[in-house]
Structure formats: structure tokens, C-alpha cells
Amino acid sequence: MGNFKGKLVVKKELTYDVIQFDIEVEPGFQHKSGQFIMVDVLDGKEPKARRAYSITTRGGVDNKFSLIVKILPDGRGSRFLAGLDVGAELSLSGPFGHFVFDENPKKNIVFIATGTGIAPINAMIEENKGGTLFWGLRHAKDIFWAEKYKDLDLKLTLSKPEGDWTGLVGRVTEIVPKTAMDFENIRVYMCGNKSMTDEMKQYLLANGVPPEDIKFEIF
């Protein structure tokens, strides 16, 4: 679709540092679950900047989609978005990316995400409506959307839990190897930082998961 305009129609705080932005675009916008768009950072500063954000709503033809963005204290793009009011116009391009959900009903789907790496994974979950989800966050205050995933085999883990947390503890890279899996029969989609995706990829390859069944996006 190239360059296009969007209008911010909903801005919702999901946690203290993650905001959901619902954006309305011209009818005809089409993306695949897992793809991202580029947002022009219209803050008046030079040099001009653009930032990538995964579309967190499932693919298809629609005139509305959502992003979820972690707001960084000195982050130029995320602070620009955080400062927008509902009704603001956005300058966008895309969709881009090869991290897309290709349904293979013969394999069990395993999703692995850390932090806002859940964004493209959520789009895929909306499409697949099943599977195992490993989701790593730091603190209990970082949790959002967990109730959305109650019909999945959700393994939500905190790396720095507070005292009263009774769920899984540790990084996803520690939790995944402790979980029994039928390695020959899974397709893995993961999104997070490079060290997580690298470590998980090595682990999965070492256990015989074919490279074509390991798909990932790095934030």
C-alpha cells in the first residue's frame, strides 16, 4: 500500500509503560498477521526519523488496526506516540515483513514472546485461536492481556517477580527447556530481543526442529 495516513482513534494504557494505539486508515488496507508498519516520527526534529511497529491485530482487509508500544524514557519514536491525542493524524508506510503466520494444521503451534514482542504474536493468536504461548515479562506490573489467552496453553513467566507471585519464575529461555515438547511436530513463532531469539533458535535446532519451522522477529 506504500505511504498512507492514519488517524488515532483510541489510546489506551495497558500498563505503566505500554500503550495501545488503535489507528483508522483508508478502507482497503491489507496486512498479514505478524507484519509491521513504519511510523513517521513527526516531532519536528532533524534528522527525520521513522520507527517500526508490529500490527497486533490479525491480518485481513480492514480499516482499523492496533499497535502496542513500550514507552521508553528517552525514546524518540515511542515518546512521540505517547504524546499524541486521539484524533491525531499519523504518517505511515507498509505493511512490511516476512514474519507472517502461515497456517500448517499438521503441526502444533508454539509462540514465544518477551515484553511487547507479544504484538505480532497476538495477531497470529487471533488468527490461530490455539497453541502454546510462552510469554516472558519482568514484573507483575508488566502483565497485560493475560486473560485474553486463557484458552491457550499459556506459560506466563516473570523474571523479577514480587513476593506474592505464584506463577512461573525465570526467563522464557529457562522455561522452554523445562517444558516437554514434541519437537518433530511443532512450528515455532517467536518475537523479542536478539539474545532471546538466538538462544531459543539454538535450543530448538539442537533438538531437531527443522529451520523452516522456526520463525522469528527481532525488536
Does residue 77 belong to the site contacting ligand FAD (CB under 6 A)?
yes
Does residue 90 belong to the site contacting ligand FAD (CB under 6 A)?
no
Does residue 194 belong to the site contacting ligand FAD (CB under 6 A)?
no
**Which are the contacts of 159, defined by CB distance < 8 A and separation ≥ 6?**
136, 137, 138, 169, 170, 171
Q: Using CB under 6 A as the criterion, what x/- string covers residues 95-134 for binding ligand FAD? A: ---------------------x--x---------------
Helices (H) and strands (E) in the chain, counts: 4, 14
Is residue 104 a contact partner of residue 187, using CB atoms and an 8 Å limit? yes
Among 10, 16, 72, 170, binds ligand FAD (CB under 6 A): 72
Among 7, 11, 51, 138, binds ligand FAD (CB under 6 A): 51
Does residue 11 belong to the site contacting ligand FAD (CB under 6 A)?
no
Does residue 142 belong to the site contacting ligand FAD (CB under 6 A)?
no
Phi, psi (degrees; rounded to nearest 5) at 140 = -60, -35
For residues 110-140, b (16+ Cβ closer than 10 Å) or e, as one string?
bbbbbbbbbbbbbbbbbbbeebbbbbbbeee
Distance CA 167, CA 6 (A): 39
Which stretch in 45-53, 124-132, 161-169, 170-178 sits in contact with ligand FAD by CB under 6 A?
45-53
Does residue 7 belong to the site contacting ligand FAD (CB under 6 A)?
no
Which DSSP symbol is given to 62?
A: -
What is the binding site for ligand FAD (CB under 6 A)? 36, 51-54, 67-70, 72-78, 116, 119, 217, 219
